[in-house]
Amino acid sequence: MATSNGPLSGLRVLELGSFIAGPFAGQLLGDYGAEVLKIEAPGSGDSMRRWGVTVDGESLWWPSIARNKKSVAIDLRQPDGRELIRKLVAEADIVLENFRPGTLAKWELDYPALSAINPRIILVHVSGFGQNGPRATDAGFGSVGEAMGGIRHTTGNPELPPTRVGISLGDSLAALFAVIGTLAAVHERSVSGRGQEVDVAIYEAVAALMESTMADHEIAGVTRGRTGSVLPRVAPSNVYPTSDGAEVIIAANADNVFRRLCTAMGRPELADDPRFAEHGPRGDNMIDIDTIIGAWTSTLNSDVLLKTMEDNGVPAGRIYTAPDMLADPHYAARDMVVRLVNQFGVAVPAAGVVPKFSRSQPAAPVPGPGLGEHTREVLATLAGVDENQWAALRSAGIANQATS
C-alpha cells in the first residue's frame, strides 16, 4: 500500500541561494519527501517570489518552485545569522547552494567548516562554471551555460541566429544533475559514513546532454548546427499542418512504421518507392516525403489525423500549449496538473511530481510559503533559540517571521 511520506522522508535539506538552479533542485528533493528549509533574506526573500507573471504581487511560479519548503528568514551577511546556519547544519543532511564560488568560504560556511560541525553533511554546489577552473568565480547565468554547453548553437532555424528554447533549460538541467549527485552522495554516505561535496556547473549540465557532437567534430569533421524542426537524414519526423490550424508531429522514420503510415495515407505504393523504401534513401529525400505527407495531413483536422495515426500504430502528437496540457485527460489521469492554493486564495496550476512511485508515494505538494513563515518554529526546534534570543534576533534584523 502506498505511503504519504515519499522516498526521501527523513532527509533534511538547507537550501541557500535563489532564482532557479538551486531552488528547482530543492523543489524536487521536497517533492520526494525531504524536509527542505529554505533560507531567505529577511525583508526581501528569494527574487523568485516576484519573478515572471505575478498576481497580487506574487509570482505564479512561486507556489511551485517553493512547494513543500519551510521558509526561514535569516540574514547570512551578519555573523550571528551565519552562526544560526551552523546550528542548523548540525541537524541537517544536505546543504544546497547556488552562490558564486568563494562566497561560502568568505562566510566561513565552506565544506571544511561545515564538515567540522557535521561530518555527514553533503554540500551541493550549483554554479555557472563550477568550483574550480579559470572561470570559476565569474558570474554565470543559465543563458551563458546554454551557450557554452553547446545547445544554443544547435537550436533554431539555420538561417537565423541561435535561439532560446523558451524555458530556463540550463538552470533546470543543472538542478536535475544536482538532485542526481545528491542522491549518489547520500548512497555513498550510507557506506562510508561521511559526507562530501557535489559540484554542478550549469554549462557542464548542458554539455552532458550534447550527445556525440564533440566526437562528430573531432573524428568525422562534422560540426552539428541548427536544423529547425527536423533531424537531418531522419525521415519522416517533422511537424505537419492540419486543416484546423493545429500542428502535429509524426515520427515514422523506422521502416516498418513508415509502411504503416503509407497504409494510413492510402498510399501503400510509397513504401516500395526506391526513394522512400529504406531509412537511408528516405533521409536523402526527406523534403520530398515531407511534402507528400504535409499535403495529406493538411486535408484532415487534427483530431481525425491523430485518431488515424493511433489506429495504425504511428507515433504522433499535437504540439501542445498550456491550454492543451490543462485539458488533456492523460495529464489528468497521471496527476500531472496539481493546483496549489497561494496565500491570496488563487489555485495556481503546476506540473505534478515526476517520477511516480508505486509504494512510497509523496504527499500532495504544499504551495510555497510566506517569507519567514517557519523561522520561529525551525530555530526553536533545531537551533535551540528561546524567547529571549528570538526577540534579540528579531530586533537586530538577523532573523524574522512572516510579515504577510
Tell me the H-state helices in 33-102. Answer: 62-65, 79-89
Choice among 93, 110, 171, 290 that is catalytic: 171
Do 197 and 253 lie in one domain? The reply is no
> Is residue 375 assigned to a domain?
yes
Cis peptide before 349 (omega within 30 of 0): no
> Is residue 3 assigned to a domain?
no
Do 181 and 203 lie in one domain? The reply is yes
Instruction: Output phi, psi for 363, to 5 deg.
Output: -70, 165
Confidence (pLDDT) at 4: 52
Q: Known catalytic residue: 171? A: yes
Number of domains in the chain: 2
Residue at which a domain ends, from 279, 297, 324: 324
DSSP 364: P
Name the residue range of residue 244's domain.
237-324
Do 275 and 142 lie in one domain? The reply is no
Do 179 and 310 lie in one domain? The reply is no
Residue at which a domain ends, from 302, 324, 346: 324
Do 179 and 261 lie in one domain? The reply is no
> 262: Cβ–Cβ under 8 A, 6 or more apart, which residues?
268, 269, 270, 271
Do 301 and 340 lie in one domain? The reply is no
Confidence (pLDDT) at 5: 85
Domain with residue 300: its CATH number is: 3.30.1540.10
Q: Which helix (H) or strand (E) holds 200?
A: strand 197-201
Q: What is the pTM assigned to this prediction?
A: 0.95
Q: How far apart, in whole angstroms, are the C-alpha atoms of residue 175 and residue 71?
A: 20
Helices 375-382/387-395 angle, 10° precision = 130
Do 114 and 257 lie in one domain? The reply is no
Do 159 and 24 lie in one domain? The reply is yes
Do 293 and 347 lie in one domain? The reply is no
> Is residue 221 assigned to a domain?
no
* Bridge partners for 72 per DSSP: 39
Domain with residue 65: its CATH number is: 3.40.50.10540
Residue at which a domain ends, from 267, 302, 324: 324
Do 95 and 179 lie in one domain? The reply is yes
Confidence (pLDDT) at 3: 43
Q: Which residue reads 504577510 in cell numbers?
A: 404
The amino acid at residue 255 is D
> Is residue 215 assigned to a domain?
no
Do 316 and 348 lie in one domain? The reply is no
Spell out the per-residue pLDDT of the chain, length 404, in tens: 334 589 999 999 999 999 999 999 999 999 999 999 999 999 999 999 999 999 999 999 999 999 999 999 999 999 999 999 999 999 999 999 999 999 999 999 999 999 999 999 999 999 999 999 999 999 999 999 999 999 999 999 999 999 999 999 999 999 999 999 999 999 999 999 999 999 999 999 999 999 999 999 999 999 999 999 998 999 999 999 999 999 999 999 999 999 999 999 999 999 999 999 999 999 999 999 999 999 999 999 999 999 999 999 999 999 999 999 999 999 999 999 999 999 999 999 999 999 999 999 999 999 999 999 999 999 999 999 999 999 999 999 999 997 54
Do 319 and 340 lie in one domain? The reply is no
> Is residue 4 assigned to a domain?
no
> Is residue 295 assigned to a domain?
yes
> Is residue 165 assigned to a domain?
yes
Task: Find the length of the chain.
Answer: 404
> Is residue 6 assigned to a domain?
no
